[in-house]
Amino acid sequence: MADVIIAGGGPTGMMLAGELALAGVDATIIERRPTSELVGSRAGGFHSRTIEILDQRGIADRFLAEGQAVQAAFFGTAMLDMSDFPTRHPYTLGLWQNRIERILAGWIEELGVPVHRGLEVTGFAQNDDGVDVHLSDGESIRAQYLVGADGGRSAVRKAAGIGFPGWDATRSSLIAEVEVTEETPPGMRIDEVGVHGLHLMEDGRTTRVVVTEKHLRPVTEPTLADLSRALTDIYDTDFGVHSPTWISRFTDATRQAAAYRSGRVLLAGDAAHIHSPSGGQGIGLGIQDAVNLGWKLAQVVKGVTPDSLLDTYHSERHPVGARALQHTMTQALMQKADPRVAALADTVADLLTINEARKRLAGRISGLDVHYNFGEGHPLLGRRMPDLGIITAEGPMRLFTLLHNARPVLLNLGEAGSIDVDQWVDRVQLVNATYDGDWNLPVIGPVSAPTAALIRPDGHVAWTGDGTQAGLIDALTQWFGPLSH
């Protein structure tokens, strides 16, 4: 019996598989695409917090080497400069999804994750002991848990009977990579229909096209004729489009799973939430889901913590997803040249010249302001731990280095030996260190220095020290399981 079956081998599924593999859990991916190569460029990158997460695992440099760092946190027509944010990655990384997937595929291959291609999960049957996962070839695999990372039309979500409430589409768009016979105007264009753009790809031959359709179309497989019609409606010519590499249709439909968990079945990424691509939230939101879920699922599989820990996946990630969906709906609304919308966009752009307003919205877009509610306490509690430059017995290091193996860290910044967690040494890394720099959090600003911090594998702070160990054992037990006596 497998530990975990993951339906879907996109960025979310691969990130989750990597997290589980780092924790020593047997994860298997079932992916409907027959080959690992994603046809077409697809999505275009991710924001700061996602880059930090990849940095926490020691693989950010692989993406940075192939992408382009840009200031691309936009709201409407206003660009929000993040260069002054307290992070090592105060920017957006422009990188096409096919490259993102290729890099992630290389990483999980190094970790030994098996990927079964050309298969789909068609359904399942679960009981108290496990899940029988039914595949499109008629076979079944038994696992302890099943995770649906199989996209917006998730078969896993539907089989689980999980509701998918939200808002229907108001407009549809086509995205494609094609060749053209006429010269195309470069750049983006916004009109009363929506957003359109033509961009010459790196090969100097293929043009990437994004065009909003004049009338809402059903989410069916589009044709070259559909693309030609949509371009002609907007540009009065189709530029002689031919030889498409791929054509796809997307909408601004916005929906979120009513529950991220049903027994031994969980949802992540687009299976849990769909939205307009406006604002570039998609890939990052799914990767953050995966990193929140991965260590929790690993501990439950290994019997370290009770399976009630998995309920915190929904309680933490569902509100984050809901807020992201609200943001994408607002972004999509702003992307029209209607005079009323333009007046709103101008007003908002003016307000965003106020520094605090800029920081608050940029924190939301970047994901750097994500805060899980762990109760009252230090401002760090529930927030992501900054990548401090600390001094340890082994010398200077970046804090994120301690998270490369996806194990929790208890960082003691007080007197060495002042914290005693010998009984937890097999679960938590105790690191005695010093740090003399400023404590500055995105959006929040300067905060007081804690004497210690318990950092979960996803990089969020679960406890902070105030000179005593009060609450530490409770936090260790809550997140990393009770000690057996």
What's the pLDDT score for residue 467?
Answer: 53
In one letter, which amino acid is 25? V
CATH architecture of 172-251: 2-Layer Sandwich (3.30)
What's the pLDDT score for residue 99?
Answer: 92
Give the CA radius of gyration of the chain: 23
Cβ-based neighbours of 40, under 8 Å, separated by 6 or more: 98, 176, 177, 245, 246, 248
What's the pLDDT score for residue 485?
Answer: 46
What's the pLDDT score for residue 40?
Answer: 66
**Is 2-166+255-366 CATH 2.40.110.20?**
no
For domain 389-480, give its CATH number from 3.40.50.12240, 3.30.1050.10, 3.20.20.150, 3.40.30.120: 3.40.30.120
Measured over the CA atoms of residue 53, residue 55, residue 61 and residue 64, the dihedral's sign is positive
Q: Identify each DSSP E strand in 228-303 by its residue range.
A: 242-251, 254-256, 261-262, 265-267, 273-274
Distance (Å, rounded) from C-alpha 370 to C-alpha 460?
9
pLDDT along the chain (485 residues), means of 10: 94 98 98 80 85 98 95 85 96 92 97 96 96 96 98 96 96 94 89 90 89 90 95 96 93 96 98 89 94 98 96 98 93 81 87 94 95 93 97 96 97 86 88 94 95 97 81 93 75
pTM of this prediction exceeds 0.85: yes
Every domain of the chain and the residues it spans: 2-166+255-366, 172-251, 389-480
- Asked whether this chain's domains 2-166+255-366 and 389-480 adopt the same fold, the reply is no
What's the pLDDT score for residue 35?
Answer: 82
